[in-house]
Amino acid sequence: TKGFSIESCRSMVNLMDKDGNGKLGLVEFNVLWNRIRNYLSIFRKFDLDKSGSISAYELRLALEAAGYRLNKKLHELLITRYAEPDLALDFDSFVCCLVRLETMF
């Protein structure tokens, strides 16, 4: 991938910063690293054409594999927010989406 955007990094730090100091300690970073590895595994599994992005349909399957069963309206909102104009999500957008869902749930 091309790396994570500033938005993704902020979201990940906000999710994992359990002590509220705005930084990740070693334990917090380790938990985040393991989640990113899990997210990458899911992303690769559903990037069927190995293009480096997943379609809106593949996103639904990937989110279900990550443990999120969402209704059609919420899925459409996520596509509107995180997908490119061609309705595909790269890994950075996928991580942002999952982090946001995890924060909500």
Spatial CB neighbours of 91, under 8 Å, sequence gap ≥ 6: 1, 39, 40, 43, 52
- In this prediction the pTM is 0.86
In this structure, what DSSP letter does residue 53 have? E
Q: Domain spanning 6-104: which superfamily?
A: EF-hand (1.10.238.10)
27 exposed, middle or buried (CB, 10 Å; 0-12, 13-18, 19+)?
exposed
List the chain domain ranges: 6-104
d(CA 90, CA 40): 11
Task: Write out the chain's pLDDT in tens, 105 residues.
Answer: 678 989 889 889 988 888 888 889 999 899 999 999 999 999 999 998 888 999 999 999 999 999 999 999 999 999 999 999 999 999 999 999 998 898 888
